[in-house]
Structure 1
Amino acid sequence: MSEATGKTRLIVVSGLSGSGKSVALRTLEDLDYYCVDNLPSALMPAFVRAVSEDAGLHPKLAVGVDVRNRADDLDRLPGVLAGLAEVGIDYELVFLDTRDDVLIKRYSETRRRHPLSGDGLGLAGAIAVERKLMQPTAAIADRVIDTSELNVHQLRRLVIAELGMSAGTLTLLFESFAYKRGVPTDADFVFDARCLPNPHWNAQLRPLTGRDAPVRAWLEAQGDAALFLEQLRTFLDTWLPRFRNEGRSYVTTCIGCTGGRHRSVHLVERLAEHFRGTYEQVLTYHRELE
């Protein structure tokens, strides 16, 4: 039951460790979902009542469920979800899956510890045990998403496009980046801020970012930076409504500078502030800061 009906919506995010569940939950949180990770199934009905029904605090909820939950708790999940449906809670169970070879590569690159790697299990063995334990959850999922070929940015955009949006709304994503690390591949608009005065060359501002007040004040005092921002606003104010009228669900606007820490971050933050007064869902992502 969507927001249009005024009822609570619950997204349960599950999947294999390393498949991107944390990224999905963080993205849903940015989309104004009230998120809790690793909540025991038995506590889910009480959580829904406390946050949405009794207190009327939040109609959009997301819960992470994975192998850190005990086996008996995972077995209890189908009954818990059925009970929620009986009282009118619209839920969707999303399972993130990833090929074993990709999971092994991700763990090797990040040097993180697999939650089942104790008890003398190596990484491959831990993944095999986890896949077996999570198979019943995957079997009842409303949607299984294979993240093997998705990077963090692509998964984030997929969640925005397919899970997090209100029906009929246009979600705006403003992203800052450094040109030295390449242009984001899924951008709809790309603007180059390297022509603007660079706070990096000010020793006092160099350790800060475009989110900090001194950098903001310094850039706002530069005539070119102020003009650049004004013209960006005018351009997007003119053309974004055309995208919405054509039925587009999201638009990604990327702004780059040399290091992705000052000018682009400042412009992204200012644009987001401006468009939050017009659009329901406006997100920011600073690639080089996160």
Structure 2
Amino acid sequence: MSTPNAHPASPVIIVSGLSGSGKSVALKTFEDLDYYCIDNLPVELLPAFVRSLIRDDVLSQKVAVGIDVRSRHSDLGRLAQWRAALAELGLEARLLFFDASDEALLRRYADTRRRHPLSQQGQGLSLSEAIVRERQMIEPLRAEADTIIDTSALNVHQLRRRIISEFAAERGAALSLLFESFAYKRGVPADADFVFDARVLPNPHWKPELRPFSGRDPAVREFLDAQADVAEYVAQVSAFLDTWLPRLRGETRSYVTIAFGCTGGKHRSVYLAETLARHARAQGWEEVATYHRELD
């Protein structure tokens, strides 16, 4: 008999749903929120995987697991059995299911030109047929879901915000922060709470050796770190946020978006979003995520 977990942990979040419905975005968002994430886990391995986390004391961290039809030899209809096995370990498994209309899925596959997982498995299915077949295969998971999110009308940004706001709220966090980068040529994010213009700063785009990289890459960070104007900008924005963000904790909101814009949304704005997100974490904010509109 397995020994229940002696230290109560956050629920293990099982992320599932239709291919193209937003599962990858969800897992990336959970990862940004400091979850320990693993994707494409065969469902029958779920109890063994969680036991290994208990053994290694990883369950002191929040955990999210992706399970879907890519594990083609798994019996998805036995999820209830595997969830019961986790309950014997003293843990709750919460199933978060992502759905979308056929029209939305067809449009997304057309936009990305990706192949459907069932088409990749040599079953000779058209995209429409693969979507229908996947709905049939994954219906047992949908029937078991604790929460179903229909992403048909949601873009990536809206989906990330919904995950951040819902999961921050249920864990009792007063406020979660999303640091976003964007390109002014594509417009200012409509739902940003604070917007900072980075176009006044030196532009790595004009350095041919830096142009292929983004603000996430070490070469661009090192270039911007060395600029006096950038250091002053970061210091002043940090001081502003340190002063005013804590005063938003008492409001009835669960998240705040801080957006940084530059010309192309690739270098300066990305650098600033990442830099200020690190600063926020260092200041003790627990729920901090980043989103780079032109990259993600």
Superposed pair shares fold, TM > 0.5: yes
* Closer, same or farther: CA 68–276 of 1 in aligned 2, 3 Å: same
Answering whether residue 281 of structure 2 is matched by residue 281 of structure 1, we say no
Tell me the amino acid that sits aligned with residue 191 of structure 1. F
CA contact (8 A) 2:204 2:268 kept: yes
* Aligned match of 1:190: 195
For residues 40-59 of structure 1, the aligned pairs below 5 Å read 40-51=42-53, 53-59=54-60
What displacement does 1:220 show? 4.3
Structure 2 residue matching 1:14: 3-state secondary structure: strand
Bigger shift: residues 212-221 or 195-204: 212-221
Answering whether residue 206 of structure 2 is matched by residue 201 of structure 1, we say yes
What displacement does 1:185 show? 3.0
* Closer, same or farther: CA 235–120 of 1 in aligned 2, 3 Å: same
Q: Root-mean-square deviation (CA), in Å?
A: 2.1
Bigger shift: residues 173-182 or 141-150: 173-182
Answering whether residue 179 of structure 2 is matched by residue 174 of structure 1, we say yes
Tell me the amino acid that sits aligned with residue 141 of structure 2. T
Per-residue CA distance 1:127-168 (angstroms, 9 max, x = gap):
111111212211111011100001111111111111366422
Alpha-carbon separation, structure 1, partners of 2:251 and 2:51 = 38
Tell me the amino acid that sits aligned with residue 84 of structure 2. A
* Aligned match of 1:163: 167
* Closer, same or farther: CA 14–219 of 1 in aligned 2, 3 Å: closer
Tell me the amino acid that sits aligned with residue 273 of structure 2. V
* Closer, same or farther: CA 214–98 of 1 in aligned 2, 3 Å: closer
Where does structure 2 lack aligned partners over 5 or more consecutive residues?
A: 1-6
Answering whether residue 110 of structure 2 is matched by residue 108 of structure 1, we say yes
CA contact (8 A) 1:41 1:77 kept: yes
What displacement does 1:46 show? 0.8
Where does structure 1 lack aligned partners over 5 or more consecutive residues?
A: none
* Closer, same or farther: CA 289–46 of 1 in aligned 2, 3 Å: same
What displacement does 1:215 show? 3.8
Aligned-pair identity (%): 60
What displacement does 1:72 show? 5.3
Bigger shift: residues 162-171 or 70-79: 162-171
When the two structures are superposed, what TM-score results if normalisation uses the length of structure 2? 0.88
Tell me the amino acid that sits aligned with residue 55 of structure 1. D
Structure 2 residue matching 1:116: 3-state secondary structure: helix
CA contact (8 A) 2:192 2:259 kept: yes
CA contact (8 A) 2:29 2:289 kept: no
What displacement does 1:268 show? 1.8
Bigger shift: residues 263-272 or 90-99: 263-272
CA contact (8 A) 2:96 2:146 kept: yes
* Aligned match of 1:84: 86
* Aligned match of 2:3: none
When the two structures are superposed, what TM-score results if normalisation uses the length of structure 1? 0.90
Alpha-carbon separation, structure 2, partners of 1:277 and 1:80 = 38
Q: 2:247 aligns with which of 242, 246, 261?
A: 242
* Aligned match of 2:258: 253
* Closer, same or farther: CA 218–115 of 1 in aligned 2, 3 Å: closer
CA contact (8 A) 2:168 2:176 kept: no
